[in-house]
Amino acid sequence: MNEPVIELKHITKRFAKVLANDDVSITIHKGEVVALLGENGAGKSTIMKILYGLYHATSGEIWIDGKERKIATPKEAMDAGISMIQQHFSLVPAHTVTENIILGNCKGKLDIKKKEKEIQALAEQYGFQVPAGEYVKNLSVGTQQKVEILKALYLNARVLIMDEPTAVLTPQEIDTLMEFVRRYVEKGNSVVFITHKMREVMAVSDTIVVMRNGSICGTVKKTDTSETELAHMMIGHELETLEKPGTEDMSNRRVRLAVKDLSIKPKGHTPLLEDINFEIHEGEVLGFAGVSDNGQQELCEAIYGGIPITSGRIELDGEDVTNESVKDRIKLGMGYAAADRYRYGMVAEMSMSENMLLKSSYLNKWVNHGLIRWSALHRYTEDSIKKYAIKAPDHTVTVGSLSGGNQQKMVVAREVDMGDKLIIFDQPTRGLDLGAINYVHKTILGERDKGKAVLLVSTELSEIFALSDRIAVLYKGKIMGIFKNGELTTEKIGLLMAGVQPEKEGAES
């Protein structure tokens, strides 16, 4: 591992007035896994996009195999054996696996069957169960990620950059990916692993590079550090320890949300949700685990009134709200922090105050005889900025100018205030760094302690375990079981997330 393959020397990158990378130097050796850690906006993805040719450095040098190289485009990076798998896949759903892999890499008349055999052999070489002739649209998210990896392997990549590669995988798929990384570097290749998940860093990396505010604040060997030390390096201070959910029996408490036989069955299509039944009591967090796109978003929107249901009943504090509008459900005390905050939770061009007003402009709280009470709203927004430690100068700045973590804090602040009976959190920490995640978790547990019912949807099992009193597993629109926290191992929940029903011991009726 003494032979440097890539050397990034004194890289600086400016976007107008923003300093994204400040004198960053990283060395990647042959047969090494380098983990790149840091909060949002720390500059991790930027430095790797410079190496991949998507961005150009303001100053600094890139050395490959001991020689300085100018990488102006991704094609030049790929020619040098560097490939990058980004967070959002770049596959064409209407094409087959083979067509996606050879797209842009083959010319002239092709024998597609011969290419399929070639791709199938490559997949089997790395232990990937990927059908080379299948359309990408028919594949699971985990299999699609394997297709992205195969694209890189097909180009004989010797340096693989993986940006948050486990965000949409089940525990079993994560294990498979880790095994691939180990086998890949054993052959003398190198991997850069961009992630915020400590467990994965400690499981697979050799060297860990920690970034903060565009600069490197530490480079350590995995064997010489700990998760606590890495967290401190990332955020500059100790994380607050949160109290774990208790083992108290919630069944004697008042039921705040009851969902009965809820189904959404579009005509001529597979049901999105089928016979969903559950209750959430006051002061309880019910966590929904599952891989993305298994009906979680539809469930949240159905409860909130955003989409019509085919059949079933929804009750809030014993009152039937099945046919109530979103507006009325807000009035009754529902809050909803949607997974896609950019699309459903905020308007980037509006100010902080205007965004805090978005869902309550018709309530007496802010409106008097048809006129908005701006001074009261501005005071409320300033109070929220202080209370939630939002890094914003004042209430006048546009939400689009804030970092992702601070945007999410703003959305959470508003929804927590709106939902005095029930708060729905759909992926509340997606894309957030450790500090922001810790703050959002603290807020969720705080609202639970006030007697509110909390419905939490997350693809992060660690988050589900840390916050939930009970855990429901959703697979293809059906609940595979509801369990008390602690009744199931990570392995069993992973099987349920993949649609495999283990022993039903411990499941609630």
Q: Classify each residue of 62-77 as buried b or exposed e, where b means 16 or more C-beta atoms within 10 Å of its C-beta.
A: bebeeeebebeeeeeb
Number of H helices, E strands in the chain: 16, 22
Whether the CA torsion 177, 183, 184, 189 is positive or negative: it is positive
Nearest to 263 by CA among 479, 107, 62: 479
Cross-strand partners of 24: 11
Higher pLDDT, 474 or 145: 474
pLDDT of residue 507: 46
Higher pLDDT, 354 or 111: 354
pLDDT of residue 247: 64
Instruction: Please spell the DSSP secondary structure of 339-375, one letter per residue.
Output: S-IIIII--TTSBHHHHHHTTTTTSTTTEETTEE-HH
Mean pLDDT of 397-402: 84
Percent of the chain with pLDDT over 90: 39
pLDDT of residue 461: 83
DSSP state of 226: -
Task: List, in order, residues 6 or more apart from 275 with CB less than 8 Å away.
Answer: 261, 262, 263, 478
* Kind and range of the H or E run holding 189: none
Q: Is the pLDDT reported for residue 186 higher than 70?
A: yes
pLDDT of residue 238: 58
pLDDT of residue 111: 85
Cα separation, 314 vs 163, whole angstroms? 39
Question: Which residue is listed with tokens 């991949």?
Answer: 52
Task: Give the pLDDT confidence of 1-59 residue by residue, as tens digits.
Answer: 578 999 999 999 988 767 889 999 999 999 999 999 887 667 888 899 999 999 999 99
Task: Give the pLDDT confidence of 285-337 residue by residue, as tens digits.
Answer: 999 998 777 889 899 999 999 899 999 999 999 999 999 999 899 989 999 99
Task: Give the pLDDT confidence of 454-483 residue by residue, as tens digits.
Answer: 999 988 888 898 899 999 999 989 999 999
What is the value of pTM for the model shown?
0.66
Alpha helices, DSSP H, located in 11-93: 44-51, 74-79
Question: Is residue 87 classed as helix, strand or coil in its secondary structure?
Answer: coil
Name all domains of the chain by residue range, CATH numbers in brackets: 4-235 (3.40.50.300), 256-497 (3.40.50.300)
Task: Give the pLDDT confidence of 67-108 residue by residue, as tens digits.
Answer: 999 999 998 998 999 999 876 677 888 999 999 888 877 777
pLDDT of residue 480: 92
242 band by pLDDT with thresholds 50, 70 and 90: low
Question: Is residue 220 classed as helix, strand or coil in its secondary structure?
Answer: strand
Nearest to 251 by CA among 288, 282, 287: 282
pLDDT of residue 391: 79
Task: Give the pLDDT confidence of 252-280 residue by residue, as tens digits.
Answer: 889 999 999 999 998 888 889 999 999 99
Task: List, in order, residues 6 or more apart from 413 with CB less than 8 Å away.
Answer: 356, 384, 387, 388, 390
Cα separation, 129 vs 145, whole angstroms? 12
pLDDT of residue 208: 93
Q: Is the pLDDT reported for residue 420 higher than 70?
A: yes
